Structure 1
Amino acid sequence: MKSKSIDEFYQEISGGNDQDSSGLLPKDIQKEIGHFNVFNIKELYERLQEKSFMPYDRRAYYKISLIRGKNRVEYADRTIDIEKQALLFATPKIPYNYLPLDTQQSGHFCVFTGEFLTKDKSGIDLDRLPIFQTDGYPVFQLTEEEAFAIDLIFKKIHQEINSDYVYKYDLIRNYVSELIHFGQKLQPVTALYSKHNSAARVSSLFLQLLERQFPIESPRQRLELKSAKDFATRLSIHVNHLNKVLKENTGKTTTELISDRLIHEAKILLKETDWNISEIAFSLGFEELAHFSNFFKKQTALSPLSFRI
């Protein structure tokens, strides 16, 4: 699943109009490391009413939303219905879909890259925070009192981003950190996540992490997750537990599933691109051409060159 960039995000919410897109950018953001912006959901929803859903997608930025109104959130393999208001945390690691179920939409959301919040050594390491873990709880139903408190934080962010204060983005970072810690202290809606489906959830997350690395679109693109250990680390579980869960749910081990997907992609690249075999090997995560050739031959009984001809 391809990541949607910040630029593509602005194209999406501006309806593809470059002039409108540039008008949505906060002033002075070019001086910052990373990117940040904040939006009023009611204003944006009215502007884009003909497009009442967010495509199920993986986005290359973080997002924190205060959602008011009836909505359905699909996050990885979970579906959560929101009746009144909720706080949603979205991470680049996991695809999600946000579907309004009525026209009474309001609230706020902010988008930011990891670099914005970690611009110096004292910044937050987002990937270590429970709120952004792949096996965490991303959606929190809110009381009116909680929603009011979060609304105040967002209003401060709106006020600062439109100000001329020289250090406004440093202040905004503090407000974003406050939102994150507010969320981490909330009690998750645990009733939606019963123990019996935890194995299915792990399997689903693994398959999504695997699949979203494809397709390989450039010889310079390289797989980030290549081994069972890589996936287990990303999912914050032991590699033996991951193997056990996948074997029970798919009939195959982690390594077998990774190998199957690598071979499928290798065949596509060999047949449909003019990349040399070394480039294909590199993009698929192999350090040496010989290792890729041995792997391919073991899986298909043919060398990469023989398969290409």
Structure 2
Amino acid sequence: MFTEKDKSVIRLNNADMPVLNSLFERMTIEELSNNHLKDDALQAYIQLLMVESMRVAHFPKPDSVSDEYHYIHQFFHLLEKETSGINYTSPIKMKTAKEFAANLSVHPNHLNAVLKKYTGQNVSTHIRNRLLEETKALLVQTDWTLQDIAYSIGFAEQPNFSFFFKKNTGITPAEFRRSYQATA
């Protein structure tokens, strides 16, 4: 998926088809729904589709994989590692492009260029989207206070967290939680 330009097709075998077909079917159902959170759900499905595609892809042996692919793979691996298992006793430590690039021993501009080239989005956008996914999951799946959620995703101050969330979703974290509870 993120290899050379002329090798951007993933060949699937019959065993791989059900997982990806299921995701496409769920995306179609979501697209046809009138649920006010469908855009968020579709974004999550697309990211899951990318993850599943990478799992079933048969990439060339590591010695023939480009350095660019390694940076992309390492970035997404690090992003997943950094954001999985979030809780308010172990908050996210890295949330800027500069911090991720330093951890990968690459210049932030180069990492941005590589990600933009293959995914269409820069490092900050991927980080922001992942933080928003985690935030939405915490708002829906926990009864944590907004301050606890803010701290767990790397915000020292809850108002800054609320501003970040509203700027990127159009509603406050509290409104998001209430709207989900109203539809559940």
When normalised by structure 2's length, the TM-score is: 0.61
Q: Does 1:219 align with 2:88?
A: yes
Counterpart for residue 207 of structure 1: 76
Determine whether 1:248 maps to 2:117. yes
Distance 1:227 1:214 in 2: 13
Residues 1:303 and 2:172 aligned together: yes
2:100 matched residue in structure 1: 231
SS at match of 2:155: coil
Alpha-carbon distance, 1:197 to partner? 1.1
**Once the 2 structures are TM-superposed, how far is the Cα of residue 218 of structure 1 from its aligned partner?**
2.6
- SS at structure 2 position matched to 1:264: helix
Alignment correspondent of 2:158? 289
Whole-angstrom distance in 2 between the partners of 1:214 and 1:256: 15
Amino acid aligned to 2:137:
I
RMSD value, Cα? 2.0
Counterpart AA for 1:203: I
Q: Which amino acid aligns with 2:172?
A: S
**Displacement after TM superposition at 1:79 (Å):** 8.3
- 8 Å CA contact 1:219, 1:275 repeated in 2: no
Q: Displacement of 1:216 after TM fit?
A: 3.5
Higher helix share: 2
CA distance in 2, matches of 1:230, 1:198: 20
Other-structure match for 1:274:
143
The one-letter code of the counterpart of 1:193 is D
* Change in 2 beyond 3 A, CA 1:224/1:218: same
Measured in 1, the distance between the counterparts of 2:68 and 2:84 equals 27
CA distance in 2, matches of 1:307, 1:193: 46
Extract unaligned runs of 5+ from structure 1.
1-77, 81-191
- Secondary structure of residue in 2 paired with 1:204: helix
Superposed CA deviations along residues 67-88 of structure 1, whole A, max 9, x for unmatched, are: xxxxxxxxxxx987xxxxxxxx
The answer to whether the 8 A contact 2:86-2:92 is kept is no
Q: For the residues of structure 2 that align with 1:207 and 1:222, how far apart are their CA atoms?
A: 18
Does the residue aligned with 2:124 lie in a helix, a strand or coil?
helix
Other-structure match for 2:8: none
Letter in 1 for 2:63: Y
- In the TM superposition, residue 287 of structure 1 has moved relative to its aligned partner by 1.8
Measured after TM superposition, the shift of residue 223 of structure 1 is 0.7
| TM-score, with structure 1 as normaliser | 0.37
Task: Provide the aligned length of Structure 1 versus Structure 2.
Answer: 121
How many percent identity over aligned positions?
40
Q: 1:230 to 1:217 in 2, by over 3 A?
A: closer
For residue 219 of structure 1, report the CA deviation from its aligned partner.
Answer: 1.7
Q: How far does the alpha carbon of each residue in 1:20-63 deviate from its partner, in whole angstroms, 9 at most, with x for none?
A: xxxxxxxxxxxxxxxxxxxxxxxxxxxxxxxxxxxxxxxxxxxx
Residue 290 of structure 1, CA deviation: 1.3
Moved over 6 A (4+): none
Taking the aligned partners of 1:264 and 1:297, their CA distance within structure 2 comes to: 13
Q: 2: CA distance between counterparts of 1:286 and 1:270?
A: 15
Q: Which runs of 5+ in 2 are unaligned?
A: 1-58, 179-184
